[in-house]
Amino acid sequence: METQNKKDLAHARTKASFNITDMTNYLHNGPENVEHRRYIIDLIAKEPIFQKDDWAWLNHTDAVNRGVAMSTRLAEIIIENDLNDLDFATCLEAIDDTIPILLHNGAFIPVINSQGTDEQIEKWIPAAQKFQIIGCYAQTELGHGSNLSQLETTATFIKETDEWEINSTSFTASKWWIGGLGTLATHAVVQARLFIDGKDYGAHVFVVPIRSLEDHTPFPGIEVGDIGPKAYNGFNKMDNGFARFNKYRIPRENMLMRFSKVSREGVFTKPPHAKLSYGSMVLLRSVLIKQMAFHLSRATTVSTRYLTVRRQFNNPTSRNDADINPGLETQVINYPMVQNRLFPMIAQAYALFAAGSVMMDMYIRLMTSMSNGNIGALAEVHAMSSSLKSYCTTIGAAGAEECRKLMGGHGFSYFTGLSHLFATIVPSNTYEGDNYVLTQQMARYLLKEVKVARNDPEKSGADPSNEKTWSDYNIECYRVSHAHAQYILTLWFIQSIREAQSPENDDERRIEPATAKVLERLSHLHALHTIQTNLADFVEDGYFSPAQCSSLRAQVKVLVASLADDAVGLVDAFDHPDFLLNSALGASDGDAYKRLWDKAQMEPLNKKPVCDGYEKYIRPLLKKHGEVKL
């Protein structure tokens, strides 16, 4: 049946001023990548175990069991198709949830590869790649997350037997939040403070066998389990786990020794550069920026499509489709308030796509130069990834929730798909460095650079005076770091559009003029809206006069209105298939009400005409004070 909903979305699609395929190629870096991404998503979409129809009803226990089954099938798919790390990330994007295998490929293997010696890599990695062992990464404890140097898990060298004794020295030493540890992992890379002869050498990493390869039972001396449900049902299929070690012994060679080393005699050797292991943090944060592009583009896709088919009230003067649909109410997306909330987020999603690509390139260049022993760029890239991680995950999570609220009443249904999305994104605001704590990295770096620029080298190092500490300037650090992230995001977005128009590109990579035109509007909107959101800072520092504030607000409105015909095309260009969106209200055919109805019919309560509690609870209440006829 051709519902009005479907007609409305189809009609809106015809209005785009640019070629959607051309835009998709820009976003995903060329047609080969677009095709490859679709191919990988389809590997997942066609498998029964990855279907999402019953997710709304899984509690944590059932969800983890599902996550285990999904994990093992994903492992097989990786081997069958010889997938690389980028493909693995695309698989997870299509799967659309965290599952227990995530940290095996996402942390266990990379940490061994980067911190293990060649012999250790040879020992562990082939087995890990064939999933003969499955690993996780155990850093956080009940009592410590950010402050690595105060972890309470210890690894004490036992010279007599050439072993480490791994011990949870207190209740709060329990490892906590460890993805994969709750049910699946056979091994963990464990962060523990290294002790030799009573001396503390700080946190180091050790490969620790957790469960028997014979029958999967935890080894004696290890207490291990799942930490239970998370906020908003987020990470529901992930077996975030806990572990306590009771003087548990592992061989000396299970310490990863590419950097620090401990000899048979118990002699500790420091690494040449203390910060060599920062690389993996930079990677994780860079990946998060790319993920936010993906998340916010999904959220705006769902919201834009639904608001195009939703009609409410009649606004006689706003942009409307009264030419073809006289007598119908106004499409909600045609209200200026809605456009002014939604379109800046579409612009942000585009900016995030550009930032994700640039940041990842920057990381790859850093790794190349570091592998040649050159750590000159580390400080800047580390500060950049920290600052952008903090800002981008903040706007990503807030944007997903704003897109949900834009959908009004129906936005509170599970079947928007956006509550699941928010629940998946929002922990990124507090993990891999809390978004507030993290901003100190960029603030420190900028202060150092300012001092260098002022040619004041003896005072560089950015140490505060004796009276005040960094903590006393945390608010200022946060403001400075986010402002810098906004600047970088704006800059990279504009650069990305310029590069995409460069005559040096081959034809397939060069965008069409119509594409460039709408991208330029988006980049202007992104820049001006970002300023508007932080307007006080600009006025306070004299960059804007009060009169200019009002011009700015007017110009934001003009830019927003200019994107009205392109909105559906802009979100279509993100190229997120319905399988991935998993949204009744945001599906590509626009049939929102029909799909919402169909989803409701899946509710198990509706299988019976009278609910389970009737005889036991409802009937006795209704009859308690006698019968009535009404």
- C-alpha 565/C-alpha 497 separation (Å) is 21
Binding mask 327-366 for its own copies (x = CB under 8 A): --x-----xxx--xx-------------------------
Q: Which of the residues 307 through 326 are near its own copies (CB under 8 A)?
A: 311-313, 315-318
CA distances from 596 to 26, 366, 442, 591 (A): 33, 48, 45, 9
> For helices 279-309 and 378-406, what crossing angle results, to 10°?
20
Min CB(315)–its own copies separation in Å: 4
140 is in an annotated binding site: yes
Rama region for 373: left / alpha / beta (φ>0; ψ in -120 to 50; rest): left
Beta strand residue intervals within 246-324, DSSP E: 248-251, 261-262, 268-269
- C-alpha 544/C-alpha 48 separation (Å) is 57
Can 467 be counted among the known catalytic residues? Answer: no
Min CB(259)–its own copies separation in Å: 22
Nearest CA among 103, 96, 110 for reference residue 363: 110
393 is in an annotated binding site: no
Residues 484/518, Cβ–Cβ less than 8 Å = no
- C-alpha 241/C-alpha 222 separation (Å) is 12
Q: Among 239, 321, 566, 572, which residue interacts with its own copies (rule: CB under 8 A)?
A: 239
In total, the chain counts a number of residues equal to 630
The single residue of 432, 512, 615, 627 carrying the catalytic annotation is 432
Our finding on whether 501 is near its own copies (CB under 8 A) is: no
Residue 415, C-beta contacts closer than 8 angstroms, at least 6 positions apart: 56, 583, 584, 585, 595, 596, 599, 600
Q: Which of the residues 270 through 309 are near its own copies (CB under 8 A)?
A: none
Our finding on whether 474 is near its own copies (CB under 8 A) is: yes
Residues 191/207, Cβ–Cβ less than 8 Å = no
Q: Which of the residues 384 through 403 are near its own copies (CB under 8 A)?
A: none
Q: Among 14, 503, 513, 630, which residue interacts with its own copies (rule: CB under 8 A)?
A: 630
Q: Among 19, 33, 38, 143, which residue interacts with its own copies (rule: CB under 8 A)?
A: 143
Q: Which of the residues 157 through 196 are near its own copies (CB under 8 A)?
A: 171-172, 174, 176-177, 182-184, 186-187
Please list, residue by residue across 372-399, b when 16 or more beta carbons sit within 10 angstroms of its beta carbon and e when fewer do: eeebeebbebbbbbbbbbbbbbbbbbbb
Is 200 or 434 the residue whose CB approaches its own copies more closely? 434
- C-alpha 509/C-alpha 33 separation (Å) is 11
Q: Which of the residues 578 through 607 are near its own copies (CB under 8 A)?
A: 593-594, 596-597, 599-606
Our finding on whether 413 is near its own copies (CB under 8 A) is: yes
Q: Among 263, 269, 469, 495, which residue interacts with its own copies (rule: CB under 8 A)?
A: 469
Q: Among 189, 227, 346, 359, which residue interacts with its own copies (rule: CB under 8 A)?
A: 227
Q: Which of the residues 57 through 76 are near its own copies (CB under 8 A)?
A: 57-62, 64-65, 68-69, 71-73, 75-76
Min CB(622)–its own copies separation in Å: 6
Q: Among 281, 360, 462, 549, which residue interacts with its own copies (rule: CB under 8 A)?
A: 549
- C-alpha 52/C-alpha 66 separation (Å) is 11
Our finding on whether 564 is near its own copies (CB under 8 A) is: no
Is 162 or 476 the residue whose CB approaches its own copies more closely? 476
For residue 114, the SS3 value is helix
- Residues belonging to the binding site for FAD are 140, 179
Question: Which residues are known to be catalytic?
Answer: 432
Annotated binding site: 140, 179
